Amino acid sequence: MQKSSIVLLITALCLAGAGSVSAAPSDCNGRTGKIRHERACDAYYDCTDGLGVLVTCPETHYFNSQTSTCEIAGEFDCIESGV
């Protein structure tokens, strides 16, 4: 069981590229999928069974939660909330 969790974590890190392991947001709780970052338009969590990997979109791109992809900033509305 623990071995499969380690393999899953390594796979998630490889798929996320420049992402970094982060504390899972409450929205990741038990879920799998891409969840918008709570404060940054250019970031999202790639959630797998409640574990969130923070992923940053390429420069000039924002995460679109409707399509679950990074898209060119300005093609849809995104308001960053303050820290």
Residue ranges of domains in the chain: 2-72
Q: For the chain, what is the mean pLDDT?
A: 76
Q: Is the pTM of this model over 0.75?
A: no
Report the share of the chain in percent with pLDDT over 90. Answer: 35
SS (H, E, C) the chain: CHHHHHHHHHHHHHHHCCCEECCCCHHHCCCCEEEECCCCCCEEEEEECCEEEEEECCCCEEEECCCCEEEECCCCCCCCCCC
The topology under which CATH files domain 2-72 is Antimicrobial Protein, Tachycitin; Chain A (2.170.140)
- Does the pLDDT value for residue 9 go beyond 60? no
